Each structure stands twice: as structure tokens, then as C-alpha cells.
Structure 1
Amino acid sequence: MAYSGRFSRAASHAVTLQAIQSSETAAGKGGVLPLLVGCGALVYLLAIGDSFLQDSDTFWQIETGRWILAHGAVPTTDVFSFTKAGAPWMSSSWLAQVIFALAMKAGWVGPVIVTAFAAASAFALFAAYLERYASALVTTALTMLAVTLTVPHLLTRPHVLALPLMVGWFIGLIDAADRKAAPRWALLIVIALWANIHGGFGLGLLLIAPAALEALRQADPARRVALALRWGAFGVAALASCCATPYGWNTLIAAGKILSLGEVLTTLGEWAPADFSRFGPLEASILALIGVALWRGLSLPWPRLLLLLGLLHMALAHVRSIESFALLAPLALARPWAEQLASRRTPPPGAKAEFVLPGWAAVASVLAIVGATIAVAPRLTYQFVETQMPEQALAAAQRNGAERILNGYEFGGYLISRRVPVFIDGRAELYGERMVMDMVRAVAGRDTAALDRFIVDYDIDATLLPAHAPIIGLMDRRAGWHRAYADDVAVVHLRDRQ
């Protein structure tokens, strides 16, 4: 029995070596495929660039960046509303906002190109890691699936600029785990940059735990205590690195505020749970994942299984987390599943080696794609979606002397871009759960008492609300008010002059 056990371990070791050698061969392809994937994704994303301009939060993100550039400091209080003017507020995405503000000097094409480039970089990194363990065909297919799942949430907003940082950070963690070592200290630069780009860096901190457990699982028992201490030190250093921002330790507080909004998170579209009323890419991906695992009898080490379940839970709970599942889950699965499949694969006699694009042809292709993109970029034109821009309605309100306008939630960003103090906008963490939910119910016509409080408490002299909102009919019948303007985007009501 002892001999059998030694033989089994030796065989297992040989299989692992075979898989690692095969992955090293894949990694030695020169990184051409990821470059092609990234360039191809960039061209595709630029072609659909108008879809990035669908959220009025983009306006206040850019205006915050302009404010930072103009004042040479980051905001610590609200400067855009008349309802929360002077209230404490920190911008956890200050660096992304500055980047967008600088890009906006070229018009909307600037932020769109920045967004497309960041997303394409994330897909290139994603493909670069998968290429170590999978064929070019599988790598390309999985990257296309990741693009499909991620595109609906690609907007000209800071979270997209953080995508390549998220992917690079996780690759650094999982690589360390597979080396049975602690992550390299240089990786801390990635999460420090992430903390200045977007408040989602908290996910990066959470990813440390499963990666550390995976490293400890693979390490020799005699080394586990020392390795655990090194991972612990790295985790503490990562937490400190997240505070390398103009806000210091307050960065952690600002990033956590959005999670304390309670009912608001079930109301805002991006925080809503996944919708399975119609068959879509997410459902197809989950079913394919389960089907492949059952069909091929694949398994996962328990730390990676916990990680996969956590990412899946996040994707099901909030649609904004689908891109995290799409980009990180395949990376967690890649090595263990590749090793298991390699141990069962017997090439048929006369099988041909996988086709690899010649280096010169790949470089020529990349140069052609990049050259075409640079040539076309100045001719690209993008327009913000009109339903988020009540331009004519705002002009009508201002012509009538309106100063304190109760605006719809989705119009706040646009009003900020026109230097109009707003009643409310997309910074839900500033306004708080109660005010946001009162506004949601009031606009839906379910809480007229909240509307009354808003008008009295904030001395409202005009409303600028979505044309489709149920509250419009109530305002038409409200004593002391009259409709002053209406179009397909918004309706303006003015208080009657005494």
C-alpha cells in the first residue's frame, strides 16, 4: 500500500509537471494573442462608443474633475447642490474624474476613447493569463464571453478605468498562490492606484483572503506558518496602500458609505439583482459552467470554490458585479481545470500542433489595427443620450426665473454640468437613504407628503421631472402651480407668482 501511495503521488506530480510545462509553452507564444484581442476589443468598443454615454452621472464625474483641476485640491464638502451645500462629501474616484475632465477637452470622443482603452486593456490582461493554460480558440472564446457580459455596464465612469487594475491585481494574487509564496510587494502599487481611481478597491482587499488560503493549501505544512505571516503582512500593507490618497484613512470610510444605503441599493438599476425573466448571457454562462463541470467531472480546490461562489453571489445580487464575475471567475478556474483536462488528454496519432500566427503577421495585424484606430479617432463623433439631457426644459425654467429647481434624480448630473445647483443627483451616499427613497416614491406618485415636505423645506419654485413620471399628472392638478414647458424628455412646473 505504501508503494501504491508513492506511485500515485509520483504520477500526480508528473501530471502536474506536464500541465505546468504545457502552460509555460503557451505563455511562451510571445503574448501576441492578448495584444490582438486587446486591439480587436478596442476597435469594437470604439464602434459602440455611444452606448457609454447613457448615464448622467458621467456629467458630475467630469465636473468634479474640472473642480479639482481648477482648485488644485479634492472636494471635502458638497459644492454642487442647494440641498446639501457644505455637507461633508469625499470623492473616492478623484483621479478617474481628473482623467475624464482632461479627456473632455477633446469633446465626448475623449472620455469614450479613455473608457474603451481601459476596458480593452482589461480584456488583453484577461487573455494573457488564460493563454497560459488554454488554446488560442478557448482563450478567444472566453474573452468574447467576458466582453459580452461586461459591455452592458461599460459607461464613461470611473469603475471602467479600474477594470484593468482589478484584473492585474487578481492575477498577481493568484500567481503568488500558485508559486506557494506571498505576492510581490510591487503589487501594492496596483491597489494604491485602484483606491484613487474608484471606490471598488474594497473587492481587491477581499480577494486577498481566498488567494492566501489557496497558497497555504498548496504549500508544504512546514512552511505554512511563515507563509501565513507573509500573507498577513501583505494584507496589512495593502490596507495601508488603499489609504495612499488625498483623503488618507477616510478613503475607507468613503468607499463603504455606498454599502450602507439600504433600500436605495434595491432601487438603483446597477445595484438591482440579476434579471432572469428572459434568457441572457449571464444565465447561459452559469449553465455552461455547471454543464462543463458535470460533463467532464471537474472540481476545484476549496479556496477557489469559495471564491467562485462569492463572485457568483455578487453577480446574482447586483448587476454591477457581473463584470467581476466575467473577468475573475475564468482566471480562478484556469489552472486547476487545465491540469485536470491535461491529465486525461491523449493526442490521437498524427495530430497536428496548434496553429500559431507567425510573429511578423501578428505584429503587422496589431500595427494595422492601432494605425486604423489612430487614423479614425479624430473623425469619431459621439453624442450623449438625449433622455438624460433636459436642455430645452432647463432653458424654459431659467427663462421664467426659476432658482430652486426640484429635479429628477436622472437629471442631476446634467444640471451640474450647466452650473445649476441641484436638488438631487447620483451621489446617493451624500443625500442618504431617506432622502433618495422619499424622492423615488414622490416621483412615482406614491408619497405626496414627501413632495410637500420637499417643496416647503427647500423653498422650491420649479420642478423639472421626467416626462414619463407619474408625478406629472399630480403636478398638473396641484393648486398654486402650472405647467410651463413639456417635451418628450422633461416637464417643467412653476409655482404661481403671488
Structure 2
Amino acid sequence: MSLAVANRVTSVRMTPALLHLCVGAGIFLFLFIVGDRLLHDSDTYWHIKVGQWIIDHAAMPYSDIYSFTRAGSPWMSNAWLSQVIYATAYSHAGWAGAVALTALAVAAALVIFLNLIGSCFEPVHRILLALLAFVVSSPHLLARPHVLALPIMVAWAGGLIRAVDQRSPPPWVLLPLMVVWANLHGGFVLGLALIAPIALEALWQSKHDERIAVATQWGLFGVAALLASCCTPYLHNTLFAAAKILSLGPVLSLVSEWRPADFSSIGPFELALLGLIGLALSRGVVLSLPRIALLLLVTHMALSHVRCVEVFAFLVPLAIARPFRDRAAPAIHAIDARASWLVSTPAALAVIGGALALSLAYTAHHDFVFDRAQAPAAALDALRQHQARRIFNDYQFGGFLIANDVPTFIDSRAELYGQQFMMKYLRAAEGRSRDEVAALLDEFKVDGTLLTPDQPAAQLLDQMPGWTRLYADDFAVAHVRVAPAK
């Protein structure tokens, strides 16, 4: 190596891309090591089960085959691609495969996020923002389809916002992302919804004589994105299936991840919300009215539904990054990529190889285990030995039953069961009336129950004639019918 080249190599600092890759690799390894925490929701079970069914039958489900209360009812899997990916990973590597896939998706989302805000903040500030987004989102980072769609959500939203910030035409190159998103998860409707406020801002900042052209461009882009979202095996029905869950109304607030944010004790979301408000006030960040409306919409979503917190965590920094830079006018130090490729390329390969080697080494000495509170295996075995076939189950046990080929009374496919049925189930599970519980169990000829120990209905069954407790542990209580249903 010549002296000139050596001096050039040693004088080059770490490139932004390499820095972002190192952060992503660190997040991946962290999530992989604490991977058991990603297996805390029994929905993972039924997503893998559906994915395996799709692989085995080379077909898409159009009706329910997993419950006995809605058997044969119309149902479509709008996360079919995620389910197939998870099923493939699970079949090859067990829970380690599902954990690695989830960790990789989160890491990819953070790397994309860092690249999008890279020109607006110094390295230390953008890393802090990325870590903040990660911490705020962490309660909802689970081995489920919405996490696989997270990188696409970040890229889509960031791409739209960047186009407006740079006063560029709509980013048509992002349309393939919408196709993939629509097949991965029903959250693609958020991507469609983001087009309107961002297009409004493009119109807001355009010159008077350009507004017709800008409106036409963004209008055509919106139509193209809508058509792209229909490029799924279910075609336009994907839109209806994704929107159906939003029509459940008040029942959504009774499902944990659809409940409003809880500020009874201070947490990451509250700290992030207050911190961003304080930052905007202290720096005097000025936003256009359409962008203010976008931020208020995203904040409202996060306050209304816990599952939307990650949308807030990633989209708010993306939305304020350029205005913050323009207001604060920081001196962002650029790196000459041409002078650093000799360092960055081998270093990037070393980072990726190191992360892979460490994850494989950890897998060899650690068995990933699903959360026992979501998988009541012993209680289910007791019910099977008693030959119980129609089981009134706790909502959170639905995925585990599906994975074990046991027809469910209910599971997390809320759009399948509908508002009326879910309200009837929830009233019974809360044990408000012995007669109401008995009537529901008789209506569906239930011969066994599988509930959590703290569920009021489980305690009520101890006192109901015709029922006896079969099994109980720290995670589940099983009852069986000892008298014929009326």
C-alpha cells in the first residue's frame, strides 16, 4: 500500500452507511439475545399455522377453518406473505428462525430510519433518535407480521416526506413497496392514508401557477398506490379486509393492543412525547399547517391505540427532521464516500459476518422458549385426555389452540367474529352474570373451558352446577362439563 493511500485510509472517519449498519447490527444482536421476549403473544402461533397451511395447499384461505363458532364463515388472511415467511423460518430453525426474522426486520427499519434522517442531524443525535424510536416501539415488537412490515412503513413514509421536503414529484419508485406491504400486513392502509396530508403539503408549498400540475401528479400517485395495494391474491378485497377491523367500534378498546395509551405511570412513550414537544418549543421549529395536521393525526393514533405507538416513534422524527435542520442550521459533516470505500466495504462485511457468527454461536447454546403464559400446554393436555372438543377459551389462548389443531371459541381474528359476538364473549368472560355465561356455553354446546386463573368466568365456573374444575396451574384453569347441556 502506498503512503498516499495509507494516509487517505487512516484519515477517513466512519461513513454514515457503516455507522448505521453498526447500529442495526447491534440492535439485531440485542433482540436476538433477548429473543424470548419476542415470543410473548400467541398470535405468533396461528400466523405460523396459517402460513404452513398456505405452503402445504398452495392456496389462499377464503373461509374459517380454525374455530367452531365461525367455521365456514368468510375470512381472508391479509398478512399471508408474512405468515409464509414466518412458517418457512420456523420450519427450518424453530423459534430461533422466528426470532432472527423479527430482529432482522427491526434492525432494517432502524437502518432505513437512520439513512433518512442522516442529512439532518449529527451522528450522535440521529443514533439517539433511533434508539428512542426503538425503546418507544419495544412493547409492540413481537414475532408477528406487523414487524416484518416495519421497514417498509419507514421507507414509504420517509420517502413521501423527503419528496415534499425536496419539492420533488411523487416518488413513483416507492410503488413496489406498497405491493409488498399490502401482502405483508393490513397496516398498508396507513401508507395509503399518509398520501393525502403529504400531497396537501406539496400543494401548500407550491407556487400558484404550479398547483394544478402538483395536484395532478399526487392525485395520479394516490390512484397508482391504491391500485398497487390491490396486487394481492385477494385483489381489491384486501382493502375491505384491512378496513373491516376498524369497523368493530367500541370492542377494539377491550383488546389490549387496541386500548388507549396509559399514562397512569410514566413510560417511554410519555417521555418521548414530552421530549419532542420540549425540543420543538426550545428550538422554535416551524411547521406548515398540513405537516402539523399529519403530526396531530399520528399522535392521536398513538394515544388512541397502543399498537400505533411505533408509528408515532418513527414518523414524528421523520416529519420534523428537515424543518428542524432548516431552523437550527447545524453543520452536518459530510463524509467523502469515494475516499472511504477501501475502509467501509471490508468493515461492512466484517460487521455482517460478525453478527451472523455471534447469533449462530448463541443459538447453539440457547433454546428459545415461547412464553408459558400464552401456551397452557398442561391444561390443554388435561382437556384432551378428558376428550373435551368444544372449548370456551381465553382470548389470549386462541393462537396456541390453533397451533395444536384445537378448534377455538374465539381468537385474535376480531374481524372474523364481529362486534356483536365479541361483546357477548367479553361479557361472559368477565362473569357478569351466571345465567349469561351458562346460556353462552349451552348455545355453542361447550364441553370444556380454558381460561386464565384471574378471569372472573373461571372463578364463576367453580360455583356453577354441571361444571367441575379439571386442572389449574399458574397460567391456566380448565373446567369440564359433568352434566348435559340444556
Q: Which moved more, 1:359-368 or 1:154-163?
A: 359-368
Q: Distance in 2 between matches of 1:46 and 1:90?
A: 31
Tell me which amino acid in the other structure corresponds to 2:240. I
Q: Does 1:374 find its partner at 2:356?
A: yes
How far apart in 1 are the matches of 2:84 and 2:24? 25
TM-score, normalised via structure 2 length: 0.91
Alpha carbons 2:394, 2:451 under 8 Å: kept: yes
Q: Which residue, 242, 249, 264 being the options, matches 1:255?
A: 242
**In structure 2, which of residues 8, 29, 50 is the aligned counterpart of residue 64 of structure 1?**
50
Shift of 1:79: 0.6
Call closer, same or farther: CA 1:353–1:262 in 2, change over 3 Å.
closer
Letter paired with 1:164: P
Give 2:269's match in structure 1, choosing from 275, 279, 282: 282
What is the aligned partner in structure 2 of residue 5 from structure 1?
A: none
1:132 alignment counterpart: 119
Give 2:160's aligned residue. Answer: 173
Partner amino acid for 1:121? A
The answer to whether the Cα contact below 8 Å between 1:33 and 1:127 also exists between their aligned partners in 2 is no
- Match for 2:426 among 437, 440, 457? 440
- 2 CA distance for matches of 1:356 and 1:294? 34
2:471 to 485, 491, 494: 485
CA–CA separation in structure 1 for the residues paired with 2:203 and 2:446: 61
1:288 CA displacement: 1.5
1:454-475 CA-to-partner distances (Å, cap 9, x unmatched) read 2211111111111221222211
Give the Cα separation in 2 of the matches to 1:486 and 1:101: 31
Which residue identity is paired with 1:99?
I
Cα gap change, 1:316 to 1:152, in 2 (>3 Å): same
8 Å CA contact 2:252, 2:258 repeated in 1? yes
Shift of 1:425: 0.8
Q: Secondary structure at the match of 2:382?
A: helix
Q: Is it true that 1:75 corresponds to 2:61 in the alignment? A: yes
Partner amino acid for 2:254?
T
Q: Give the Cα separation in 1 of the matches to 2:69 and 2:20.
A: 49
- For residues 268 and 49 of structure 1, the distance between their equivalents in structure 2, rounded to whole angstroms, comes to 24
| Distance in 2 separating the partners of 1:356 and 1:156 | 39
Which deviates more from structure 2 when the two are superposed, residues 232-241 or residues 473-482?
Answer: 473-482
Q: Which moved more, 1:30-39 or 1:286-295?
A: 30-39
Residue 439 of structure 1 contacts residue 450 of structure 1 at CA under 8 Å; is this kept in 2?
A: no
Deviation at 1:245, TM superposition (A): 0.6
Shift of 1:269: 1.0
CA distance in 1, matches of 2:43, 2:198: 34
- Of residues 177, 185, 204, the one that matches 2:191 is 204
Q: Quick check: 1:156 aligned with 2:143?
A: yes
- What's the CA shift for 1:373? 2.6
Q: Deviations over 1:278-320 (max 9, x none)?
A: 1111111121122122222221122211111111111111111
Give, as a single letter, the amino acid of the residue that structure 2 aligns with 1:372: G
Equivalent residue in structure 2 for 1:388, among 365, 369, 374: 374
> What do residues 171-226 of structure 1 show as CA deviations (whole Å, max 9, x unaligned)?
22122213323323221111111010000111101111122122223323221101
- Residue 202 of structure 2 is aligned with which of 215, 218, 222? 215
- Of 433, 442, 450, 1:464 maps to 450
Asked whether the 8 Å contact 2:434–2:464 carries over to 1, the reply is no
Deviation at 1:168, TM superposition (A): 0.8
2:293 maps to 1:300: no
Distance in 1 (CA, whole Å) between partners of 2:315 and 2:171 is 20
Sort the Cα spacing of 1:174 and 1:407 in 2 relative to 1 into closer, same or farther, 3 A. Answer: same
State the alpha-carbon separation in 2 of the partners of residues 207 and 228 from structure 1.
15
CA contact (8 A) 1:82 1:423 kept: yes
Alignment CA distance shift 1:277-1:363 (3 Å): farther
Q: Look up the SS of the partner of 2:210 in the other structure.
A: helix
- State the secondary structure of the residue aligned to 1:107: helix
Aligned residues: 464
**Which of 128, 134, 139 pairs up with 1:147?**
134
For 1:420, what is the secondary structure of its paired residue? coil
Structure 1 contact 37–127 (Cα < 8 Å) conserved: no
Per the normalisation by structure 1, the TM-score is: 0.89
Residues 235-258 of structure 1 deviation map (CA, whole Å, 9 limit, x = unaligned) = 011111111111111111100111
Shift of 1:364: 5.4
Partner Cα separation in structure 2 for residue 470 and residue 404 of structure 1: 20
State the alpha-carbon separation in 2 of the partners of residues 83 and 480 from structure 1.
Answer: 22
1-structure distance, mates of 2:86, 2:345: 31
**Whole-Å separation in 1 of the counterparts to 2:443 and 2:475:** 27
Unpaired runs of 5+ residues, structure 2, are 1-13
What CA distance in whole angstroms lies between the structure 2 residues aligned with 1:288 and 1:359? 37
Q: Is the 8 A contact 2:122 2:333 kept in 1?
A: no
Task: State the Cα distance separating 1:356 from its structure 2 match.
Answer: 9.7
Aligned to 1:336: 323
**2:9 alignment counterpart:** none
* Secondary structure class of the residue paired with 2:462: helix
- The residue matched to 2:441 in structure 1 has which SS? helix
**8 Å contact kept, 1:179–1:215:** no
Residue deviations 1:416-474 (CA, integer Å, cap 9, x gap): 10111111111111111122222222222113333222221111111111122122221
Is 1:241 aligned with 2:223?
A: no
Q: Compare 143-152 and 286-295 and name the one that shifted more.
A: 286-295
Q: Secondary structure at the match of 1:463?
A: strand
Counterpart amino acid of residue 411 in structure 1: F
Q: Which amino acid aligns with 1:284?
A: L
Counterpart residue type for residue 246 of structure 2:
L
Which residue identity is paired with 1:452? A
Is 1:476 the counterpart of 2:465? The answer is: no
Q: 1:363–1:181: structure 2 CA closer, same or farther, 3 Å change rule?
A: closer
Asked whether 1:319 is paired with 2:301, we answer no
Q: Judge conservation of contact 2:62–2:74 (CA < 8 Å) in 1.
A: yes
**Contact in 2 for aligned 1:83/1:423 (Cα 8 Å):** yes
For the 8 Å contact 1:397–1:492, the answer to whether it is kept is yes
CA distance in 1, matches of 2:210, 2:104: 42
